Structure 1
Amino acid sequence: MIELSEKEKALIKVLQEGIPLEKRPFRKIGEETGMTEEEVLSVIHKLKKNKIIRQISPIYDTKSLGYDSSLVAFKITGDIKKAAEIINSHPGVSHNYERNDTFNIWFTIAVPPDSKLGLEQTVSLLADMTDAEDFVILRTVKLYKIGVKLDFGSLKEKEEVVKNENHRKVIITEKDKKIIKITQEDIPLVENPFEIYAEKSGIKEEELLSRLSYYRSAGIMRRFAAILYHRKAGFKANGMTVWKVPDDISDEIGYKLASYRSVTHCYKRETNEKWKYNLFSMIHGRTREELEDFVRELSEEIGVKDYKILYSTQEFKKKRIKYFSEDFYKWEEDAEDGRYTQSDIKS
């Protein structure tokens, strides 16, 4: 693990909270961290070069943009790497991991609102293409927390969880689609990054900043922030802990789990005859021993004994979706033409 200076730690903490939506965001960050604008940019360059920071860009809300999405698990008994390549060929797959379960490939997938195939048919097609023995589609029933901020000391540290029960309906215009397509790329590391975004969008910088502020207030954008390489940041134990919780107390338990800073994602998901665990909590620890001790304590605290920790043993893909990309429609056209087969997907 790379040893970070106190300034680097402070900067990472601020970058995970969010980039200021103003003309000189790095100058503002410098004021918060006791650094010059030039120093902030230099340190970010270094953190990216050392693969501490993966990307700095808006985190857009898939559902608010009209996309249909879900967590999916495949049971692959053949060549798992080949299967992962096929799954990764879909532009809506953002995360894909091998995990220690009979359902051994876990991925998130999204399809646009005007998808010809839709989510279920797309997943079925991927299952056929990978010779999956079985699969489950685990849609989100309720979101309790989402937001990776790896700046805690103890796994037991807590934070306030904002309960947002209402989802605003928003209309995405063609101009909005263009802005989202351009701004979802990694932020330019220059003094006036939004000026570059605005020029590419064909609008003035003030209008672009106004639209980004609106996206954030409307829930279209969750944050404009840095995402880290977890392992390089010291968090090597990544455990998706799943719990079987009675429905009548699922909200109480969900928000309790979400209150821990080490729990970066917490959802209630659909269950079926193949999958009985309804609460999903992504927990990050520095070691497996630390994480498992913490989960045992959580089990005692919430009174839920039926749980599993699913560790990621291989990362096949971790990449933000390019919303409103033509790649989605190209993939569907090729799939309908039968152009995707196991032998066609090259490593």
Structure 2
Amino acid sequence: MTATALTLPALTLKDAVVRYDRLIAVDGVSLELRRGETLGLVGESGCGKSSVARAIVGLQPLASGTLTIEGETLQDVPPKRRGDLQRRIQLLFQDPAASLSPRMTVRSLLAEPLKIRKLHTPESAARIVALAESIGLGEQLLSRYPHQLSGGQARRVALVRALAAEPSIIVADEPTAGLDISIQGELLNLLRALRDRLGLSYLLISHNLNVVGRVTDRVAVMYLGQIVESGPTAALFRDPAHPYTRALLSANLTFDPSRRRERIVLSGELPSPSNPPSGCRFHKRCPLAQPRCASDIPALQAGADGRNVACHFQLAAEAVVRPQAMVG
């Protein structure tokens, strides 16, 4: 890899639109994932987070927009090259057990990605076994079937299977969901260690804001198919600028009384993505809404602290320096 390539973002999603028939699940989302970082993506259920993940890994086509992987725009490369390019991105599914065939042993499941790409050799098989053992999957587990695994073991199997393809980017969709607190901590420490050892970049999708606050470098907040705020995790959690971000963080549970926020209860229901409100999509639930919000779409604008905010009346008093900023 050239020195120039190493300076490029690991992944850039530009003006992405994802449709399911007439429903627009993702509407003009732009994201930039830098090399070696962990970017969090948060928001209510139904906001489009998983649709972003599916589009990035190729499970759902983009209706419009572009996806650039390590400097190469996927739509511009020849079809034969696309498979190798997309191999660099692997997905950890929200339900790892459901993503594992119940008829295959763990050993077969780990070898499957390489067999599909005709890369399976005795050397690669030995490498996968060594990788599995390095993250706590002893060789005795390789002969088991998915139903014989615990939740934590199933996630580790899914992780090894993703790493078998030697990716540079991992998209992790709710990687800690359903796990005990202690197992969550072990898995997060493992992901961090693998990122540092293998030079991985992570897009982490989660409802667990404590997890996001602990392991991510930056975070992007989605509402009804659009990014409403992004920035460095510490700054955004400390002083959220968008009213929706502030309400979202106020619902986060914490055992530290000094870090608890006054709970903000939003009125109304989350609008349907098949019929989103005009203007700012959050205006019908926003405590700061003004008449302008119902008609004018707020541009995603960048502040001096690296924050990007789409709000006419943002809460943080940061100077806006440019319009139409990409999340990055």
TM-score range, shorter chain: under 0.3
Tell me the TM-score normalised to structure 1 length.
Answer: 0.23
**Bigger RCO (CA 8 Å, 6+ sep):** 1
